[in-house]
Structure 1
Amino acid sequence: MSYDVATLLTRNLHEVFGEGDDARRRAVVNEIFTEDAVFYEPNGVYRGRDEIVRIAGVIRATHPSFRYTALKAPEVLHDRAGRVQWVSGAPGASPAYAGTDVIVARQGRIAEIYLFFDPLPL
């Protein structure tokens, strides 16, 4: 199955990096990422679905109660790439950090994802 870029961005935010259950995370990664997908973030580069599942779990474990909230709807370019800006923090508290996810899609799946940390919005 293939998905539009906005759906890929939203599902990645909530169902991959926002998911606390390893089995559910793995199922979604298998569904929305290409087999050879690459995740780029400030601390490293992770290649393939297994590594993306692993590092998403590591990141999630550092803040298991945090929730991601998109600041606005995902922006899409030519149904091939897009970005979503978000904040994350404990429910009911001020956001602890912010970021932007940028993806490149291939045949309706995430082939590349780039994570940028942003200053917290005012």
Structure 2
Amino acid sequence: MRDVMELLHSNLHEVFAERDPERRRAAIERTYTDDVTFIDPEGEFVGRQALSDRAQELLDGAPANFVFEEDGHRYVGTDTGALAWRFGPPGNPVARGIDILTIRDGRVSLVRTLLLPEGAA
């Protein structure tokens, strides 16, 4: 069973930042429940394949030099975790957000992504 700190790392670095579909798929299998729900401003996506497709879509829409970087501390509860991130060229983000994870039986069952509004500091 993975702890919340590991799941926060995996969600950002091994799934959403991973451009190789095979490595991403392996990380998804060990990180999320079969029925994982991912919610972002674009909608709600249910299941591992839908989450993988959404991650691929986000990466496909960004230049190759864009990276996800942690943007602060990891926050951990018994069945919840949160991690702020930034996305763009290293050290020069074009987007910022936070992922809030709900954990069930040692895997992520819900990922809720909130974005910092454009123009906010």
Q: TM-score, normalised by structure 2?
A: 0.91
Q: Which residue number corresponds to residue 53 of structure 1?
A: 52
Work out the CA distance in 1 between the residues paired with 2:5 and 2:59. Answer: 22
Q: Which runs of 4+ in 1 moved over 2 A?
A: 119-122
Q: List aligned pairs for 1:1-122, cutoff 5 A.
A: 2-63=1-62, 64-78=64-78, 80-91=79-90, 93-119=91-117, 122=121
What letter is aligned with 1:66?
F
Over aligned residues, Cα RMSD in angstroms? 1.5
Work out the CA distance in 1 between the residues paired with 2:2 and 2:120. Answer: 30
Q: How far does the alpha carbon of each residue in 1:3-31 deviate from its partner, in whole angstroms, 9 at most, with x for none?
A: 11111111110111101011111110011
Work out the CA distance in 1 between the residues paired with 2:30 and 2:77. Answer: 22
What letter is aligned with 1:102?
I
Work out the CA distance in 1 between the residues paired with 2:9 and 2:99. Answer: 10
Q: How far does the alpha carbon of each residue in 1:46-100 deviate from its partner, in whole angstroms, 9 at most, with x for none?
A: 100011111110111111321111122210112x001001111113x51111000
Which 5+ residue runs of structure 1 have no aligned equivalent? Answer: none
How many pairs were matched up? 119
Work out the CA distance in 1 between the residues paired with 2:3 and 2:73. Answer: 13
